[in-house]
Each structure stands twice: as structure tokens, then as C-alpha cells.
Structure 1
């Protein structure tokens, strides 16, 4: 067996043991994330940006997404490009950046509700199928 494939399978099995993914043990090696974990990540995203910062980046979608992603890290955190990219992708995929709500000098960005609802349905199905324990419902 190819060493890269063997290492990939081993890494996937470790993620499955940690409860982060479900790995279907068949020839196709089907993998799906634990949607309960994904929901927790989305719900814990920092979605509040001060008005001044928002005014500086509101006309540049990529800068806005980048700044929202950076809100999820503390000043003293050791972060790398992969961490920032992951948070940017989460923001891009699940947060509505087009219609923030101004509240007391800060802009609040809300999750895209239909996407969140779809993930809740997938998480519920995974629990019913016995792929993961119920850790949030």
C-alpha cells in the first residue's frame, strides 16, 4: 500500500476515534464531519465587529472576512495561516456578511439560518444512525 494512503487512513481513523469525523469502513472510504462539532464552531464564531473597523473594510469582502476571522483569536494566540484560513472559510460559508446589524456602536453578523438548519438536520440524522453520540441536543 502507498505510504501516503496508509498515513491518510491512519490520520482519518485517529480523527474518528476523537469523534470529529465518521469513517465508513468500506472500499470507498466515505468520510463525513461530525455536524454537532460544526454547529458548535459556527455558534462560537465571534460575530461582533466595532463600527470603526467595519467602516474601514466594509467595501472589500475579502478584508471583511479576514477581519471577522481574526476576531476569533486572542492577541497572544499563536496562530498560523491554516487557522486563519479555516476561520475565513467558516465565516464565508456560514455567516451573512452582507447585512450586519448595528447595535450600540458594533456590527453584529448573523449566521445564515437555512445553512445552520441544514447542519442541525444532518447532525440529528447522524445521531439517529448511531454515527456519533448526542453531545448537544
Structure 2
């Protein structure tokens, strides 16, 4: 019996430099816009590094959507039945930028319908 050790792929932090540089440029150009939770990440080693910006409100989201040149038709309304948020993706200086705007108030009827759908799904 032989034992083989497989070393995990190590990504150097320098692999994130394009996204970090894009973030610095965004801050320099749009420093007056609302801040948020910032994330630089790479889902898988085979995918490019992305920049994520999670904002507290639809108003904050809209300001960033506009300066990033993301069209309104590319905005997705997401919800989990309790809360809602906006989501869109764009590109800035060759780096993928994913923005979300939280705090979307869902109509009570939508919440009720979501709950009814979940109950029906569990009962099936």
C-alpha cells in the first residue's frame, strides 16, 4: 500500500492584484459613493478573480449600478421569502464586479405566496 500526498493548489495573493487595483481605482474615482462590504474572491482556481460590493440599500446599489454602466435590464431581484435584494454583474478595468443592494421590502402578498409555495413543496 502506498500513500500519496496531494498538495492543495496554493494561489498567491498576487493573483488578486487586478481586483485590488480595480478597487483602488473605484475608490479614487467614486470615493463619494456609499461604502459597503467589499470582497475580493475567486470561486475556483480556473475562474478569474472577482470584486464584490454588498450595499445596504437599493439607493446605494443604484448609484453603483449607474457608475459601473450596468443596464437596468441586467439587474435581478432576488428574495428568500423574508428579505429581498438586487443583484447585478459588470466589468470594471477588466475585472468582474458583482454588486448587491439589500433592504428591498417585499410586498406582504409576495411573502404569503412564497410561504404557501414552500408549504406545498414540503407537503408534496
TM-score class, shorter: under 0.3
The structure in which a higher percent of residues are strand is 2
With the length of structure 2 as denominator, give the TM-score of the two structures. 0.27
More helix per residue: 1 or 2? 1
Considering only CA atoms, is the larger Rg found in Structure 1 or Structure 2? 2
